[in-house]
């Protein structure tokens, strides 16, 4: 069975700094998708970034980028120039052959003014 | 284009009762997935509906059931409520069963006393 592990329950960084959130996963599949979702206090889950496992190039969306290491089964999220609005829970998630999304337990990120 | 909506926002029920939660999918989407998010945890997949048929189920007992209607809106029904059913229930809509572009609703907070 696939698993997703986020080892940092909570992090705090100063505004404008760069922060990296860690995620590891376990699967025997070769083709799959990985995601980072953001859940602000308003509760609405928002997709931040997506990575297809067959693509070697790391995905980037504006200030958000990932470091995808397929062999190590690692998928970290880097937030550059962090902003107060980045304060939220961040979930790493996996989707394999069965098209079902498996979420990690999340990292609570605080951006400090 | 309207987003995913859920009703009600909050709900308080007594152990043993039954509850129905509702979800309206985003315009143009024919697939709805339901998730249970316990406090401090990541969402857990309950089941998915595609074109009015159940298309996959997570590790939840049969007292969790669902429906999808011709307009692709959906209901989640939970019978014989237990205290552990207290959680945020999220629905997400997508186009087709390959759900890497899921759009989440704001959730329904269910409290079972």
pLDDT at position B12:
98
Tokens 């605080």 correspond to what residue?
Answer: A110
Q: What are phi and psi of B83, to 5 degrees?
A: -55, -35
Minimal Cβ distance to A95: which of B41, B100, B107: B100
HSE-up (13 A, CA, CB side) for residue A67: 12
Q: What angle do CA A111, A48, B107 make, to 5 degrees?
A: 90
In order of A27, A51, B5, B8, B111, the CA distances from B12 in angstroms are: 38, 38, 19, 10, 5
Percentage helix, strand, coil for chain B under 3-state DSSP, each rounded to 5: 5, 50, 45
DSSP designation for A107: E
Residues of B in contact with A105 (CB under 8 A): 40-42
pLDDT at position A44:
87
pLDDT at position A108:
97
**B29-70 per-position pLDDT tens digit:** 899 999 999 998 999 999 999 989 998 899 999 999 999 999
Minimal Cβ distance to A91: which of B42, B56, B97: B42
Q: Which residues fall within 8 angstroms of residue B62, CB to CB, at 6 or more apart?
A: none
pLDDT at position A98:
80
- As averages over each run of 10 residues, the pLDDT of chain A (113 residues) reads 93 97 96 95 88 92 96 97 96 89 96 96
């Amino acid at each position: 069975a696939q698993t997703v592990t986020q080892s940092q329950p909570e992090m705090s960084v100063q505004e404008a700094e760069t922060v990296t959130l860690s995620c590891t996963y376990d699967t025997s599949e070769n083709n799959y998708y990985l995601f980072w979702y953001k859940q602000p206090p308003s509760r609405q889950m928002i997709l931040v970034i997506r990575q297809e496992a067959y693509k070697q190039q790391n995905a980037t969306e504006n200030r958000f980028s990932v470091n995808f290491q397929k062999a190590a089964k690692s998928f970290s999220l880097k937030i550059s120039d962090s902003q107060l609005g980045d304060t939220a829970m961040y979930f790493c998630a996996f989707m394999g052959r069965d098209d079902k999304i498996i979420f990690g337990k999340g990292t609570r990120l605080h951006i400090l003014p | 284009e309207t987003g995913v909506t859920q009703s009600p926002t909050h709900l308080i029920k007594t152990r043993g009762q039954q509850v129905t939660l509702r979800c309206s999918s985003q315009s143009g989407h024919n697939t709805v997935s339901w998730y249970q998010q316990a406090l401090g945890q990541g969402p857990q997949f309950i089941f998915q509906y595609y074109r009015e048929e159940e298309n996959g189920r997570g590790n939840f007992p049969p007292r969790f059931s669902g429906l999808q209607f011709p307009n692709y809106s959906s209901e989640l029904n939970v019978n014989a409520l237990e205290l552990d059913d207290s959680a945020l229930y999220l629905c997400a809509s997508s186009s087709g069963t390959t759900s890497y572009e899921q759009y989440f609703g704001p959730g329904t907070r269910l409290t079972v006393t």
